[in-house]
Amino acid sequence: MAIATETLMEAEYVSLPTVIWIIIVLMSLTIILALPAYGLYAISRTLCAKGLTERKSEEAKAVFLKFIGKKPKYINTDWMPIGDGSISGTGIALSDGALYLMDKGVAAKIQFPEIRTWRWIVPGADRIRVIRGNHLDHMAANRQNANAALIAYLDSGIFVSVHDIDKPEWQFMSKDVEILKRWHEILLQGREQE
């Protein structure tokens, strides 16, 4: 005995050009929808990073002011990358004839007679340019350029050498030349007043 069957739908054969057309439409939709999605991702990542750095800058200033104990005559604080992927605070202040420094979140009060020398520097980063090559060559060059820029940034700022065996040099990290020139003059005037 045979099982009764009924055909509900006839099979439709799709020609090759129709399949290609469907693939093209799906790829186009993927690209069209992926671009705004990537844009939203990039914007949200930038805003999250900006929010984090602003919070760290505010936190650095608050803890540095608490360490100093009162509002100093001059102060600059900021966040700083440490190099292992983490970030911390950096700061410099002058109050009551003493220099206050915060380097990687560690703060110290330094009297002017304890200061040996200071220098400031903002090194530039060499750039690798790819004239011809595939996208992997460009990606590798961009990664190397980003690493060189980070290393240059980590080596930027004002460096204060002091009479101390445990930590003979303190760094206020900044690549803002005007801030560094200002602090150079503040330190010169502080040295003259001793």
Q: Worst-scoring range by mean pLDDT, 102-111, 113-122, 136-145, 172-181?
A: 136-145
SS3 per residue for 105-164: CEEEEEEHHHEEEEEEECCCCCCCCCCCCCHHHHHHHHHHHHHHHHHHHHCCEEEEEECC
pTM of the model: 0.66
All structural domains of the chain with their residue ranges? 58-192
Strand-pair category, 106-111 with 87-95: unpaired
| Average pLDDT for 71-75 | 91
pLDDT at 11 > cutoff 50 = no
Tokens coding 96 = 């009551």
Q: Which residue shows structure tokens 């001793």?
A: 194
CA distances from 19 to 9, 23, 29, 96 (A): 20, 6, 15, 80
Sheet holding 106-111: strands in order across?
74-81, 87-95, 98-103, 106-111
Phi/psi of residue 161, nearest 5 degrees: -90, 135
HSE-up (13 A, CA, CB side) for residue 48 = 6
pLDDT at 4 > cutoff 50 = no
pLDDT at 3 > cutoff 50 = no
Q: What is the dotted CATH code of the domain comprising 58-192?
A: 2.30.29
Grade residue 50 by pLDDT with cuts at 50, 70 and 90: low
Q: How far apart, in whole angstroms, are the C-alpha atoms of residue 74 and residue 56?
A: 20
Give residue-wise pLDDT tens across range 157-177: 899 999 988 889 999 988 888
User: Exposed, middle or buried, 141 (CB in 10 Å: 0-12/13-18/19+)?
Assistant: middle
